[in-house]
Structure 1
């Protein structure tokens, strides 16, 4: 089956010479593969995938199968990233990295370690928590395996909260001591065209030898020269200034015209229609209260002020797509919670992307909420390629 979606994006939109210059990606904490999919659409080759939770890895495999995409060259690894601290497992990864480099390909590690321990709304245990420790493990893996570049993604609490920022800076210092030069940005996924307000810290690093080959002499930071804003499609100040509608009475299956002056492509309704969510394979997968819930019919459209039972507005972006800690998001004009198909659309995924029909609702919404929005992933991936000058002029 031809890979229509990614072929078009790689050849026409990104314009990269994928035969000669494709960087090879090793993906960790892969979930259902949203981050990886964005990198592939931008022109990378995801060759190794690691995920700890089997249902997420099964979802990753399922989505690739239905989209006509091949399995990663070096396969899937089901297991905790800590296993790579074992000398034998570490050597296996090192051999693969060396093999890729010997073929004159760039190697990149990408991953977003589990973030509840750094989230204000989560466990907030920091680097002492079981999930928090995995961030340090990932950084240690990068320093030992020495990919040409890496991406680290996490919640803004790791970067903004004083008690966690010290740990974050310690990880950066370790990277600097191992010949990486870094750059970071607190991104908002809506800047890249995803229909949700979702802030995340993105840390990217390159080996000094790679920078030297690009004619760049830097010691610790690329702050002034990394083109963070080049592939941003919407200025956050302009988005904030738009006349977004406020709360309005809930009317089941009611109609509301799009207000003037807003960006339609950033709205819930635009993505629901774009992905044809009512006819999507995951359309009928959503949580249903055992005896019904009267409040589903009284919460106004656009009332997302509370931690739980947020009702989205059809003509606004969604709040952060996160469904843990009892964060219930309601459909704008139906008396129910969001479906899996609708949640996938708010992560800006192609409509052909689907989760397996036998995945539990808990696992489905968890892997959706954990994922990096596809449009943001693609934009960041293009930014790295642009910086590395990986294109047809090479």
Structure 2
């Protein structure tokens, strides 16, 4: 049986070159870079090289900071809570404290749930609704701004439907009003160019395992001069903004993956998109009662979210897995209740149909042979599941 992995928005395979370098820094060059002996000193040049690659990944300037984190979950929590704490600190003059935040209903739980938590602590949060294609406009942000708005946090690309949001335009609006802006770029890095100088954002989060780097490591970009409170307290690592012994193997692995991601952007935009479109066009033309979720144009080149009427998504995933195909659904089992995707509900999709949605997400390692295999088995799977569902 073939094995086809089409769940790359969940996580990606670590590239072989990144994995190989990580082995070296786990087993040979394993010294703590904060140490003064040669074991520690030997790691520093490679650590610097890796950081240069990570800076180049997002075109960060030398004077900017890129904090190494455990991933985007930590990075998102760090920047949002840091801004909140700074504005509730009693040492900050009351006249300059602000307590209004703007986000969207499309955000990953690491942003969405963090704002829900801060609301319990007194934050005022406006959650902007997306349109039916999963897009947010700068005009919506403009209308939501108040003289108390301190931070806007809106993702660059959505994890379930792949839609790309107009962060550059929103950033200009925020800065014209003296407001900080953060974007979660986790699903954008490695899929299309992400340039912090062009976007102009103050903070940007990412995770290595989304672009063929190792799991458990990521970064938080902080523009020069922007305040950030430590989330962890301890040693002086990362300019005392993120305490803890540096994960040198992870940083080196992320650096290799970053360099490879930049080199593969054209391939993502052409070949990965072609394979995604091949699968999408086949489904829409040959399997009746199928519906594309999200914007057809303004989305990442690797993502396809599609609903199959009268075909339960969880059942479809099971059957796909029986054929060696890995995909995902926005639904999640919460205790005994099957909850539909919050993102698909945000698009106004019928609750029943949202349970029938499946996400296929490709990578640069996806082959045409694999897509052809999915095309060969998918119609039969859908036909059988619909017969069961409709009692035929």
Global fold match (TM > 0.5): no
Q: Which has the larger radius of gyration?
A: 2
Instruction: Tell me the TM-score normalised to structure 2 length.
Output: 0.30
